[in-house]
Structure 1
C-alpha cells in the first residue's frame, strides 16, 4: 500500500540558509518510512560504463543520431561508433548508479542492484561504485563476456552546448532478473529508486516490479525516474500504470513529463502527476525545478554555473539530492535545493559523477544535512 509522507522543515528554513541537521541523536525526526533503515537509498538500474567524448553537431547528423536522445544499440553497432568517436573519458556510470554515487558524496548511505559481467569493465564498475561507499554485491554474470553479454557501456557524444546524445549497449545489464533482487537490502532501504530504462528488457522489468513490491511490504517508499522521453514513448501505458499503482515518488524532466501525459502544457501535466503520486519533482534545465506534494507546489531555482561543460548526469545528481533530502524528512524546498546544487556541480565538468564532495559543497552554500 502506498502511504503518506511525514516531513519536517519548511521553505523558511531554506530562506535562512540552513537545512535541518541529521545525526544519530535525531533518529526520531526521520519519516516513519525511514525509521531503522540501513540505507537512505537503494537503486536498481543498468550497470554500465560511460564513454564520453566531445563532438560537433555534424558528427551526430552523419551517424544518424538524434541530438539529445538515448537509443539502444547492439554490440557491433557499439563497437563501430566507439571507433568513430573522438578521444574522451571512460567512467563508471548508469543513471541510477550515478544517483547513488551522489547520495554517497552527500554523506548518505546507499546501495545498488545491477548486473555486470565477469570482465574488465565489470571490475571497473564494481570498484568505482564501492569506492564511493555504495553497497554493491549483485552476483556477476559469469559467462557473459563470451556470449555477447559483456558489461554494458553507454557511448555519449557531447556537443559544444553540453547536450549529450547516448547510444547504449546493455550487455550484462540486460540480464538483471528477479533472482538479483535482494529483499534484505530492499527492506533495509528508506527509498528504493528504480531506473526507467529497466522497462526495456522484460526480465529487468520483472525485477523492477519485484523490488517495488518488496519495498512496500517493508513499509518503505518507491521512487522512479522516467529516464528518457523515448523510453516514455515506448512504454507510456505501462509506465503510467506502474506509477499509479506502485510509485510514491516520481522524478522526470520536462520532456519526459510531456511524453507521459501527451501534452505540451507543463502546468497541466505537472499538476496531474502531483495528484497521482505523493511527491513529484520535475526538472526544467536552466529554469530550475518544480516539486509537488499534495497541494504544495515549490519552485527551486537552478544554481548558476560559469559554463555548462557536460549535462551528462545532471538529472541523476538532482535525484541524489532530492531523494536523500526526502529520506531524512526535509521539506520540498530543502530537498530541491540539494538536488539543484548537485546538478550544478556535475554540469561544470566532464563526467556524470561529482568531482567535489557534495557534502562539503552543501556546507559551503549553507545547506547542511
Structure 2
C-alpha cells in the first residue's frame, strides 16, 4: 500500500543566467515588465544549471524525504532525459510503477531565463507529459494508495482530471489538488468535482479567478470555496503568507524570515506537498502542517532547483524559525 501517489509532470529544468538579459518596463505585457535581449546578437552565459523538476517529481520528493511510500504517475519520452528521470526516481526512493514511457514523445523541458538578480522568464515545453491517456494509467495499482496528490495536467492529459478525482472518490482515496492554468480556465468543468477534494491548494490570484471575486475580497473568496470544497482550502499569498480553512476554523500566518532568495522555482509545490505530508504524519494538526509546509518551501528558496532545499526526515519543522499562526473560529 502506498501512502501517496503524485500525478503530474516530470520536467528537465534548465537555468540560464546572463548579464546581457535586461529587465525593461513596458505596457506590452500584463506584468508591466519584460526580459529582453539583443536580437541577432551572440550572448554569453555566466551560469548554466540543469535539474529534475515538474509537479509530480517535486511533490514526490517531499513525500519520499519524509519516509513515506510514494510513487509518481507521469509520462516521459524515450530519450536521455527520460532515462535520467527513471534513474533519478530510484535514487530518491520514488516507486517507478507509474512511470510511463512515450516511445514517440520527448520529455518535457523548461528553460528558465534569469538575470541572476531579479525576476525570471520560463519557456515551457509540455512534451510527452501532455499526452497521458486513460489507457496508460494502471488503475488497479492506483487503488493501492491512501492519498493522491494531483498536480497540473496540461494538453490532452487535462481531460483525465475528472476521471482521476471520481476514481479516487469511489475507492475511498483522499485527494489533494493543486490545479494549474488548464483546469482553472475551464471553471465550469472543475466546480462539480471540488466537493470530492480533501485538500484544495491555490494561490490568491487563482482563488480570485475560480470564485469570480475580487482579489482583495478574501472573505468572499473563502465563503465560496468553503461551500464548494468538503475538506481544507489552502490559499497561499506569496510574501504575505497563507490562509487555511476547513469551513469552521481559519488559520493564517506570515512567512518565515529569509535574508536572501536564491530561486523561487518549486516553492509552491514544496508548500502544498509539505502540508499534505505533515497531515499524513499528524492527521488533523493544521498548525503543525502549516509550520512544516512553510519550512519546506523556505528551504527550496535557499537553493537553485525545485527540490534541493526540501526538508529531510531528520530536519526540524522549525529549522528556519517558528511561525505565529492565528486561529479564528468562523
Normalising by the residue count of structure 2, what TM-score does the alignment of the two structures yield? 0.82
Q: Which runs of 5+ in 1 are unaligned?
A: 1-37, 70-79
CA RMSD of aligned residues (A): 2.9
Pick aligned residue for 1:331 from 250, 270, 285: 285
* Alpha-carbon distance between aligned partners in 1 of 2:83 and 2:32, rounded to the nearest angstrom: 29
Preserved contact between residue 301 and residue 309 of structure 2 (Cα < 8 Å) = no
Preserved contact between residue 161 and residue 309 of structure 1 (Cα < 8 Å) = no
| CA displacement at 1:187 relative to structure 2 | 1.7
Pick aligned residue for 2:188 from 237, 247, 257: 237
* SS of equivalent residue, structure 1 residue 323: helix
Question: What's the counterpart of residue 206 of structure 2?
Answer: 256
Q: Deviations over 1:143-170 (max 9, x none)?
A: x2xxxx3111012234556644322111
Alignment of 1:273 with 2:225, yes or no, is yes
Counterparts of 1:78-227 in structure 2, within 5 Å, are 86=45, 87-137=47-97, 138-142=99-103, 144=104, 149-158=105-114, 160=116, 163-196=119-152, 198=153, 200-202=154-156, 204-227=157-180
1:136/1:332 Cα in 2 relative to 1: closer, same or farther (>3 Å)? same
1:65/1:129 Cα in 2 relative to 1: closer, same or farther (>3 Å)? farther
| CA displacement at 1:348 relative to structure 2 | 1.1
* Alpha-carbon distance between aligned partners in 2 of 1:201 and 1:85, rounded to the nearest angstrom: 34
Question: What's the counterpart of residue 358 of structure 1?
Answer: 312
The higher relative CO (CA closer than 8 Å, separation ≥ 6) is in 1
1:108/1:102 Cα in 2 relative to 1: closer, same or farther (>3 Å)? same
Q: Deviations over 1:43-98 (max 9, x none)?
A: 11022111123367736889x876699xxxxxxxxxx9xx9794421111112321
* Alpha-carbon distance between aligned partners in 1 of 2:291 and 2:285, rounded to the nearest angstrom: 10
1:217/1:60 Cα in 2 relative to 1: closer, same or farther (>3 Å)? farther
Q: Which runs of 5+ in 2 are unaligned?
A: 34-38, 323-330
Equivalences, count: 306
* SS of equivalent residue, structure 1 residue 237: helix
* Alpha-carbon distance between aligned partners in 1 of 2:167 and 2:135, rounded to the nearest angstrom: 13
Normalising by the residue count of structure 1, what TM-score does the alignment of the two structures yield? 0.74
Q: Deviations over 1:310-344 (max 9, x none)?
A: 11100100012111122231411111111101000
Bigger helix share: 1
* Alpha-carbon distance between aligned partners in 2 of 1:110 and 1:67, rounded to the nearest angstrom: 37
Preserved contact between residue 278 and residue 288 of structure 2 (Cα < 8 Å) = yes
* Alpha-carbon distance between aligned partners in 2 of 1:132 and 1:333, rounded to the nearest angstrom: 28
| CA displacement at 1:357 relative to structure 2 | 4.3
Question: What's the counterpart of residue 17 of structure 1?
Answer: none
Alignment of 1:54 with 2:17, yes or no, is yes
* SS of equivalent residue, structure 1 residue 98: helix
Preserved contact between residue 342 and residue 358 of structure 1 (Cα < 8 Å) = no
Question: What's the counterpart of residue 75 of structure 1?
Answer: none
* Alpha-carbon distance between aligned partners in 1 of 2:218 and 2:315, rounded to the nearest angstrom: 31
Bigger strand share: 2
| CA displacement at 1:364 relative to structure 2 | 6.1
Preserved contact between residue 60 and residue 66 of structure 1 (Cα < 8 Å) = no
| CA displacement at 1:349 relative to structure 2 | 1.2
* SS of equivalent residue, structure 1 residue 115: strand
